[in-house]
């Protein structure tokens, strides 16, 4: 298998035809200028020692040298052998509540941003485990499926906000079902669901979904973001200035409260544990420590091709050809010219 480490340099090969055209145009202009200077026979006698063929040969060698140097810069690599790397770990789905109540600021800077920070910290600690993210409000959607591409996971996490799910509400049961549908139960990996929410479940039966989770042997953890005392939800304008609090249809300020009782029950039914979100503690880290102690199962094998660089050979040939081009003289070799039959015919005609 052959590949180029820097394929962008290959585009430089397009300059070689341009150089060839420029050479031909320059040679044509030179020939016309000499013809204006004097007759063809006079010019041949004056430039008797010059060789048009050797001039063309020098230019051809230069083009080939540049081609080899360009290939050297692109660094051709040859795959020599396949390496198999076993992958083992747990399959972890984080279901993140993105309802408007997650904008409450009883946890700084707000509930949603604190949850995203914990997920980023979790991604930084993962090593071989597969992580997926589900966002939910009134409905649940898969933000990204189970993956070990942690860089892509961070990119998808960055764009998460309260407007990614258009349906208002908090459907915890829907988020659990979405995660269960995304697991591959043919694989014997340990499977974990972590629900990050303020617990104000408004849609569906989350307890029934948690019961199904337990039957399938999946562990279900919950993290409650907010305070049981409740807090209003600030409303900001496009400039980032707070203009009001969320109000109901009667004009009263809406207060969002953490429903710890429901979240504790959901975690208990799902054979997991409930954690209270705080400003200081990283609750996802505590959960990861727990699941990291579980026995990890192999879920696949990745094959990597080991490549070896070959740029040195191309650069070596290119440099050698450049040196050869410098050594080639544009003058005719006398003993070769002496045996040139075309030269003898020209002398007879003269």
User: 3-state DSSP: the chain helix, strand, coil percent, rounded to 5?
Assistant: 45, 25, 30
Q: What is the secondary structure of 96-163 as a DSSP string?
A: EE-SGGGG--SSSS-HHHHHHHHHHHHHHH-SS-EEEEEEESSSEEEEEEEES-HHHHHHHHHT--TT
Inter-residue contact 224 to 272 (CB < 8 Å): no
**Would you tell me how many other CB atoms lie within 10 Å of the CB of residue 262?**
19
Place of tokens 């060839």: 20
**What is the spatial distance between Cα 8 and Cα 306, in angstroms, rounded to a whole number?**
21
Question: Coil, helix or strand for 302?
Answer: strand
Domain extents in the chain: 2-75+310-349, 87-302
164 burial level (CB within 10 Å; 0-12, 13-18, 19+): middle
Quote the pTM value. Answer: 0.62
Question: Coil, helix or strand for 272?
Answer: coil
pLDDT at position 190: 87
pLDDT at position 35: 67
- Model pLDDT for residues 105-154, shown as the tens digit of each residue: 999 999 999 999 999 999 998 877 899 999 999 999 999 999 989 999 99
**What tokens were used for 44?**
């041949």
- Model pLDDT for residues 164-188, shown as the tens digit of each residue: 998 888 899 999 999 999 999 988 8
pLDDT at position 187: 83
pLDDT at position 252: 93
Q: Which residues contact 106 (CB under 8 A, 6 or more apart)?
A: 226, 227, 231
Residue 57 φ/ψ, nearest 5 degrees:
-65, -40
3.40.640.10, 3.40.50.1980, 3.30.1490.20, 3.40.50.410: CATH of 87-302: 3.40.50.410
Inter-residue contact 280 to 33 (CB < 8 Å): no
**What is the spatial distance between Cα 239 and Cα 244, in angstroms, rounded to a whole number?**
14
Task: Tell which residue, 282, 255, 161, has the closest CA to residue 200.
Answer: 255
**Would you tell me how many other CB atoms lie within 10 Å of the CB of residue 331?**
12
pLDDT at position 303: 52
Burial 195-230 (b: 16+ CB within 10 A, else e): bbbbbbbebbebbebbeebeeeebbbbbbbbbbeee
pLDDT at position 42: 56
Q: Which residues of the chain have pLDDT under 50?
A: 335-337, 342, 344-350
91 burial level (CB within 10 Å; 0-12, 13-18, 19+): buried
pLDDT at position 160: 96
DSSP 8-state secondary structure symbol assigned to residue 228 = T
The distance of Cα 293 from the centroid of its chain, to the nearest Å, equals 30
**What tokens were used for 288?**
């990861």
């Amino acid at each position: 298998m052959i590949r180029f480490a820097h394929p962008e340099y290959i585009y430089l090969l397009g300059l070689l035809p341009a150089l060839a055209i420029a050479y031909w145009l320059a040679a044509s202009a030179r020939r016309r200028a000499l013809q204006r200077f004097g007759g063809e026979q006079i010019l041949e006698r004056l430039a008797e020692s010059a060789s048009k063929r050797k001039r063309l040969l020098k230019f051809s060698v230069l083009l080939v040298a540049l081609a080899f140097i360009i290939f050297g810069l692109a660094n051709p690599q040859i795959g020599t052998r396949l390496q198999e790397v076993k992958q083992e770990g747990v399959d972890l789905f984080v279901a993140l509540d993105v309802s408007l109540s997650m904008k409450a600021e009883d946890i700084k800077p707000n509930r949603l941003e604190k949850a995203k920070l914990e997920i980023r910290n979790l991604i930084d600690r993962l090593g071989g485990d597969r992580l997926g993210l589900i966002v939910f409000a009134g409905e649940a959607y898969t933000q990204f499926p189970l993956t070990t591409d942690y860089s892509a996971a961070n990119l998808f996490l960055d764009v998460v906000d309260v407007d990614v799910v258009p349906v208002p509400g908090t459907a915890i049961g829907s988020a659990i079902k979405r995660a269960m549908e995304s697991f591959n139960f043919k694989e014997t990996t340990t499977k974990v669901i972590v629900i990050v929410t303020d617990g104000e479940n408004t849609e569906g039966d989350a307890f029934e979904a948690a019961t199904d989770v337990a039957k399938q042997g999946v562990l279900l953890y919950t993290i409650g973001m907010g305070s049981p005392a409740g807090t209003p939800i600030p409303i900001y304008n496009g400039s980032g200035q707070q203009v009001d609090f969320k109000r109901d249809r009667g004009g009263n300020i809406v207060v969002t409260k953490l429903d710890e009782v429901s979240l504790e029950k959901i975690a208990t039914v799902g054979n997991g544990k409930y954690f209270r979100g705080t400003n200081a503690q990283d609750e996802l880290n505590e959960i990861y420590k727990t699941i990291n102690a579980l026995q990890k199962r192999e879920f696949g094998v990745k094959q990597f091709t080991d490549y070896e660089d070959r740029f040195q050979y191309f650069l070596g040939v290119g440099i050698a050809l450049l040196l050869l081009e410098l050594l080639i003289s544009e003058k005719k070799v006398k003993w070769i010219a002496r045996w040139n039959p075309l030269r003898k015919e020209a002398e007879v005609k003269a």
